[in-house]
Amino acid sequence: MARTLYNCFLYLVFPLFVLRMLTRSLNMPGYRRRFSERFGILDTTNLKGSNIIWVHAASVGEVFVATPLIKSLLTNYPKFKLVVTTTTPTSSDLITQAFGDSVFHVYVPWDLPGSVKRFLNNVEPKLLVLIERELWPNIIHQTNFRGCAMVLVNARLSERSASHYEKFSSIASSMLTSLDIVACQSEEDAHRFISLGLSPKQIVVTGNMKFDLEVSATLEAERNEFIESSGLTSRFVILAASTHPGEEKAILESFAKVKKKNENSILILAPRHIERCDDVSKECFSKNWQVTRYSEKMPINAEHDILLVDTMGDLLKLMGVANLAIVGGSFVPHGGHNMLEAAVWGVPILTGPYTRNFDEIAKLLVSSGAMLQIQPELLSSNLLKLIDDKDMSLRMSKAGKKLMKNNRGSKERTLTLISNLLG
C-alpha cells in the first residue's frame, strides 16, 4: 500500500521533475542528452548472454568511491560484464573518462515502475552494488523480485537522514529488508540502519572506502611533469577545490591578503561545477587578477595569479601540486566535499564549518591534526599562518598521510562480501 501511494505521488510530480531537469539543461546540456536511458530504453546488444554486475554511483562523490571498486571488479571478474549507472552528466563524464568501453555505462532509470522494469528486462543483473545511500523503492522492489542479489556498500546514514526515513518507515523498512548486505562505514551508521528495521545479521561494518584512495606511480609522474612544464616549481600553490557560489569571493579576498605578503603565491581555483567557470573567471578579472585556464594547456608565467580549473577528472592530480588546500562546499551551508584527496598527498587542509556530508572524516582529520576547520572570516589569517609556520604545515602533512594509511582496507573487505554473494 505504501509503495502504491509512493508511485501515485511520483506520477503526479513527475512532470515538474522533468521540467526542472530541462531547466538545468540550459546551463548543463548533458541533462537533456540520452534522455531515453532514463526511461530504461537501452541498446543492450553487447550484453546479451552475459553475467552482469550492476554498479550504481549517483553523483561525483559516489563515483569517487566506486572507481577503485569497479577497477577491482573488472580484474576479479573477467567473465562478468559491468553495467555502471549514474544520475548526473558530470558523474557520467567521469565514468566514461575513467573506464571508456571497459564498462557499459548508461543513466540510471527514473524510479517509475515502467522505467525500472524496462531497464531490468534489458540488463538482467545478477548482482546490484549500490553506493552509500542510493535507495529507491521501485528499483529495490523490482530487483529483489527478480532474485538479484543486492549490497549497499560504503553505507552511511546521518541522524538527519535517519529521521527523514522514519517518517516513511513502511517504505524504508521494506527497502532495507530486501537488501542482502549493508556494508556500513561506522558503528554509528549501523545502529541507525538497525533502528529503521534492518536486521543486525544483514550489517557488516567495513569502514570508509574513501580512505582506500591511493596515488599511483603514473599519477605521481603526471603531477611531477605538470609542475615542471607549468613553471610552478618555485611558486607557493594554494588550491581551492570544489568551490560554490559565495565562496569564491571570500577566497579571492583572502588570497589578495596572502599575495601582499607572498608575491610568489598562486591560486588554483577549481569550481565544483565547471559550467560556472565563465562567471568565476569574470569575478577574478573584475579584481584585476591575471587568470589562465587549465584547459588551455599554456605555460604559467610569473604574471599569472590564478589557474582556473575548467576540466573534469584532474583535481586529484592538481591536489598533489598544492602546498595548501582549501576544500569548498564548507564555507557555505552545502555540507562540504571530500578532503581526503588532499590528505592522500599530505597537503595541509583548511575547511569551513559546514561539513555535515563528511562529518566523520572531518572529525578524524581535525583530531589527527591534518586539517583546520575555521570560520570564513579566519581564512586569510590561517593561510598566512600556515605559509609562515613550516613546521606546523609539515606536521599536518604527516598527520594526513598517517590517517589515510591507518584507515585503509574497506575496499578489500567489501570485495570479500561481494565474492560471497556471487558464490
What DSSP string describes 118-160? HHHHHH--SEEEEETT---HHHHHHHHHTT-EEEEEEE---HH
CA angle 282, 284, 290 (to 5 degrees): 110
- Whole-number Cα distances in Å, 251 to 121, 268, 341, 369: 50, 11, 19, 22
Q: Taking residues 182-209, what's their average pLDDT?
A: 95
pTM of the model: 0.91
- Number of C-beta neighbours around residue 340 at 10 A: 26
Indicate the pLDDT class of residue 397, thresholds 50, 70 and 90. Answer: very high
> What is the DSSP code (8-state) at residue 264?
T
Adjacency order of strands within the sheet including 291-293: 291-293, 306-308, 265-271, 236-243, 324-327, 349-351, 371-373
> Which residues are bridge partners to 105 per DSSP?
84
Rounded-to-integer distance, Cα 153 and Cα 417, Å? 10
Rounded-to-integer distance, Cα 293 and Cα 404, Å? 31
Active site residue 62: yes
Amino acid at 149: A
- Asked if 226 and 317 count as a contact pair (C-beta separation under 8 A), the reply is yes
Indicate the pLDDT class of residue 297, thresholds 50, 70 and 90. Answer: confident
Q: Taking residues 384-408, what's their average pLDDT?
A: 97
Which pLDDT does position 158 carry in this prediction? 87
Rounded-to-integer distance, Cα 181 and Cα 184, Å? 9
Which pLDDT does position 299 carry in this prediction? 83
Question: Does residue 81 register a pLDDT over 90?
Answer: yes
Identified catalytic residue from 37, 62, 132, 248: 62
Indicate the pLDDT class of residue 267, thresholds 50, 70 and 90. Answer: very high
Q: Which residues contact 164 (CB under 8 A, 6 or more apart)?
A: none
Question: Does residue 404 register a pLDDT over 90?
Answer: yes
Which pLDDT does position 394 carry in this prediction? 98
Rounded-to-integer distance, Cα 196 and Cα 135, Å? 13
Calculate the average pLDDT of the chain.
Answer: 95
Place of cell 500500500: 1
Question: Does residue 1 register a pLDDT over 80?
Answer: no
Report percent pLDDT > 90 for the chain: 88
Report percent pLDDT > 70 for the chain: 100
Q: Taking residues 270-288, what's their average pLDDT?
A: 95
Q: In what helix (H) or strand (E) does residue 188 lie, and over which residues does it extend? A: helix 187-195
Question: Does residue 198 register a pLDDT over 80?
Answer: yes
Rounded-to-integer distance, Cα 396 and Cα 317, Å? 20
Which pLDDT does position 27 carry in this prediction? 83
- Asked if 241 and 337 count as a contact pair (C-beta separation under 8 A), the reply is yes
Which pLDDT does position 160 carry in this prediction? 86
